[in-house]
Structure 1
Amino acid sequence: MARQWGVISLLLLLAVGYVVGGSGMWDSVSNDFMREDKPYGVGDFRVNGKSIITMKLTKPEITFKPREERSDPNRAEPSEPWMSNVGEFANRRSVRILSSGLEGEVIRRFEEPAQRADWWLAPDWSTLYLTTGWSDRAAELPLGQSYRPELTQLFKSTDQGQEWERLRWPEEQNITFLRFIDPQRGYLIGWGPRVWRTRDGGEHWDELPVPEGSRNPENPRQQFDLVALGQDNVLRMAFYDHAADVSRIHALPWGEDISQQAFTIPGHVVMDIAANTEGNVYVLATQGAPYFSLPSDERDAPRPSVVWSWNDDSLHKLHEFPPELKGYALYLTPSDGLLFDGVNESTLLGNDVVAVSYDGGGSWKIEYEGRSAQGGYYDVQTGTRWRVEGYSLYRREIP
């Protein structure tokens, strides 16, 4: 009977075009990756040849008194009082921009207090933009308010992070995401949601209208579910319409001021969008309404990840993955493939998984990449996938 079920399982996998990958797919690049910067954390890094740039949100280090100085010799006691205060601990978080070689010294190029940050790095590394957000977590909430004020800053570097300029920006206006076409042209997206555009490298910003229905009057910190800038230079914004039970995807081509609804996806939440230079759009979505809007007794129901396509005329469901494979990102590979990036949640610790399709989403090759990594990314320009486990950096090619 066990053999019979094994054969059936194999046939089912083949029927949907699955081929499960094995071990030995990674090439070791470094066994000493980011070891020097404390506390340890790989951050959001990029590799170019043998050079690395990293944006890293970091927590303060905690030290402890020697046994003879403790009030209770048998209990660890932090060296300073703030280390035991959750709010003060959060206030000392920071964002760092680091540079290094694959095996060389890690150099701290920039550091700023921050509990939240986002960045954009030009493909040729000529320009970096960085936004930071910091709030006093040790202070009492203002009377009648649900949130502490957050101070937002915007920085720019044109020499790979060696020197930085603080750009003019109102501190009370949140910036959550940076989406740039090139060093001169790009968007900022913040709470509300709100969208701003620059044409001159951040010297001036114009606020643009957001899609109707994307705001919640009761939530001043409302955000889009997803904001993506495609290879066609179109900014796409997705948000869930609870009344209609659909995700609405609006498109804003560069140079236009008002976005238009492009299409909707019924009963799914958008996780990622990828679009090529011809404007063919691919969407990764999760079945069901937004997780935290569901009743607690419905949150554990299976929520499969689904890939859709939109060709400026009609929407097509390309593939639905098994519920245990949760997708987080969707990429276009250099050879026009589709790359699904996610995790297998059926295991206790989770295993990283990718699925690749080279026939427009008809068949998919699934590859299990090992237990969940500490960090990594996929380079859509070179087709290189990077992975960090412990202090080891690995790479593989997915063309």
Structure 2
Amino acid sequence: MWATEFEFAKNNFNGGILAINANKDKALLFYINQEKIEFVDILNEKGEFIDSKYKEEWMRDNSQVLNRMTVEVLSGGKGKPDKLVFKEPAQTGQWWQSADLNTIYINTYFLDYVLVDTIPEQDQIRKARRYKIFKSIDGGETFTQLKSWPPFRQVKQVLFDETGVYGYAIGEQKTLWRTSDAGKTWIQIHMPKQIVDQLNAMKYEFRMDEFFNSYHFDEKTKDFYFSNLFDHQGQYQSVVYKFPWSDDPKDNRIDQYSPILTLPKSDIVDINSEGEKLYVLGMVYDFEKKTYGHVDTETTFLVAAPNEQNKYQWLEKVKIGNALQLSKLYMGQNRVLYSSGFKNSNNYPYQRDIAAVSFDKGRSWQIDEEGNMIQASTFDNKTNKVFILKGGKVSSRELTKFSSLLP
């Protein structure tokens, strides 16, 4: 049962990413905005409608429409009016926030679609693309661009530890950068040869060669985990790497470490950790038939940990369900695990908002219906509450254990 917490984003209908502070009285909404396309009526001398046209000339140019997209952050809460605290021209971006929402990092990517078709391909990265990282240390009231990050250096997401000082920047082409001073300086991390060879081969059949399939930065231990999908003699498998934290600038080679796990015939959706133990969401599907997200696709939960010889091994594997598209795996209190997403269907409605919930650390799962028309959601791992933004209100619910089988 959903209970209203406070009004928020009443005049904003964008879907995005929701963040709630520890006191549950402040919300931030991260989203991608596109300038509205409008039409005006064309009337004849009698005032009768004969046609319509774009209100402004740029609206008919798709390149200019894409160039007017922005990454934005809206702030609000109990007794607080909504306030736009961040706006940057970009077609995509991501963010990271500390638990108290005081420290926020935002990365953005802007491609000049008007310019890109007029210059040689080799010049596009430095002239038509702009990558930026911004930082706030006052809860999003003000943001400062990190000048240490060159605009041509690709970045997909930034991740930090609990202090907001030690972290990584994950880039395209499977690049990785580390900072020990809150983004003032960055050190590039060298990838394993197997990944470099894969990139050089330029295999984009499944669009899985450009980015890591999944990654996780443990905010307590500062260990960085990531998975990569490889084609091994015609069989696809996910390989998991672990990179321990180091403040030594010379310790910047993941290729010094061997992979810790291999998962055949599966794509790893997300990784979480608790000390040395790993919790993994995987999707088993037919790579040859490309049935990713199909109703027959199986979603699994796996647990791995090192043995006495300090070698990781799979300990548990549990089927969560079929036709699920889950995202981030949250770890709550009292053995609760939570992941929201969609359930696919061959019939209308083709997707439904659902959540996979476990009350016994993944040994059994239930599927909860989350409703529809949800703009954004988040899970509070201190209270085991789910928060959603819908219809201008932030609402919450407590997880309830029950048997649920979706048709």
Tell me how far apart the structure 1 counterparts of residues 390 and 228 of structure 2 sit (CA, whole Å): 34
Moved more, 363-372 or 130-139: 363-372
Tell me how far apart the structure 2 counterparts of residues 376 and 193 of structure 1 sit (CA, whole Å): 28
Q: Which amino acid is the alignment partner of residue 222 of structure 1? A: E
Maintained 8 Å contact 1:44/1:54: yes
Q: Deviations over 1:107-154 (max 9, x none)?
A: 111211010111111112221111111011133164456977421011
Tell me how far apart the structure 1 counterparts of residues 304 and 44 of structure 2 sit (CA, whole Å): 66
Gap runs ≥5 in structure 2: 307-311, 401-407
Quote how far apart the aligned CAs of 1:264 are. 0.8
Residue among 217, 239, 244 paired with 2:200 = 217
Tell me how far apart the structure 2 counterparts of residues 314 and 286 of structure 1 sit (CA, whole Å): 19
- 1:199 aligns to what? 180
Tell me how far apart the structure 2 counterparts of residues 342 and 116 of structure 1 sit (CA, whole Å): 20
Maintained 8 Å contact 1:351/1:372: no
Q: How does 1:144-293 map to 2 (within 5 A)?
A: 149-168=128-147, 169-181=149-161, 182-215=163-196, 216-219=199-202, 222-230=210-218, 231-243=220-232, 245-255=236-246, 257-259=252-254, 260=257, 261-276=259-274, 278-288=275-285
Q: Which amino acid is the alignment partner of residue 26 of structure 1? A: W
Structure with greater strand share of residues: 2
Change (3 A) 1:61 1:234: same
Tell me how far apart the structure 2 counterparts of residues 212 and 327 of structure 1 sit (CA, whole Å): 31
1:44 aligns with 2:17: yes
Q: Which amino acid is the alignment partner of residue 213 of structure 2? A: D
Change (3 A) 1:81 1:302: same
Question: What percent identity do the matched residue pairs reach?
Answer: 23
Structure 1 counterpart SS, 2:51:
coil
Maintained 8 Å contact 1:44/1:55: yes
Q: Which amino acid is the alignment partner of residue 252 of structure 1? A: F
Tell me how far apart the structure 1 counterparts of residues 44 and 111 of structure 2 sit (CA, whole Å): 33
Q: Which amino acid is the alignment partner of residue 215 of structure 2? A: V
Maintained 8 Å contact 2:131/2:152: yes
Q: Deviations over 1:151-180 (max 9, x none)?
A: 101111111122222112111111001111
Tell me how far apart the structure 2 counterparts of residues 298 and 156 of structure 1 sit (CA, whole Å): 36
Structure 2 counterpart SS, 1:36:
coil
- In the alignment of these two chains, the number of paired residues is 368
- 1:11 aligns to what? none
Maintained 8 Å contact 1:274/1:331: yes
- 1:6 aligns to what? none
Change (3 A) 1:300 1:318: closer
Tell me how far apart the structure 2 counterparts of residues 232 and 289 of structure 1 sit (CA, whole Å): 35
- 1:110 aligns to what? 86
- 1:21 aligns to what? none
Structure 2 counterpart SS, 1:105:
strand
Tell me how far apart the structure 2 counterparts of residues 299 and 109 of structure 1 sit (CA, whole Å): 36
After TM superposition, the score normalised by the length of structure 1 is: 0.84
Maintained 8 Å contact 1:194/1:210: yes
- 1:122 aligns to what? 98
Moved more, 136-145 or 151-160: 136-145
Structure 1 counterpart SS, 2:328:
strand
Structure 2 counterpart SS, 1:83:
helix
Maintained 8 Å contact 1:53/1:100: yes
- 1:53 aligns to what? 28
Structure 1 counterpart SS, 2:64:
helix
Structure 2 counterpart SS, 1:321:
strand
Tell me how far apart the structure 2 counterparts of residues 342 and 267 of structure 1 sit (CA, whole Å): 22
- 1:18 aligns to what? none
- 1:345 aligns to what? 344
Moved more, 229-238 or 247-256: 229-238
Maintained 8 Å contact 1:333/1:398: no
Quote how far apart the aligned CAs of 1:94 are. 0.6
Q: Which amino acid is the alignment partner of residue 62 of structure 2? A: V
1:94 aligns with 2:75: no
Quote how far apart the aligned CAs of 1:218 are. 4.5
Maintained 8 Å contact 1:121/1:128: yes
How large is the Cα RMSD of the aligned pairs? Answer: 2.8
Tell me how far apart the structure 2 counterparts of residues 295 and 147 of structure 1 sit (CA, whole Å): 34
Tell me how far apart the structure 2 counterparts of residues 146 and 270 of structure 1 sit (CA, whole Å): 35
Quote how far apart the aligned CAs of 1:228 are. 1.1
- 1:324 aligns to what? 323
Change (3 A) 1:128 1:326: closer
Maintained 8 Å contact 2:18/2:388: no
Change (3 A) 1:326 1:297: closer
Maintained 8 Å contact 2:297/2:324: no
Structure 2 counterpart SS, 1:378:
strand
Q: Which amino acid is the alignment partner of residue 154 of structure 1? A: I
Maintained 8 Å contact 2:266/2:283: yes
Tell me how far apart the structure 2 counterparts of residues 156 and 212 of structure 1 sit (CA, whole Å): 33
Maintained 8 Å contact 2:285/2:292: no
Q: How does 1:65-104 map to 2 (within 5 A)?
A: 65-68=40-43, 73-102=49-78, 104=80
Moved more, 383-392 or 243-252: 383-392
Maintained 8 Å contact 1:117/1:133: yes
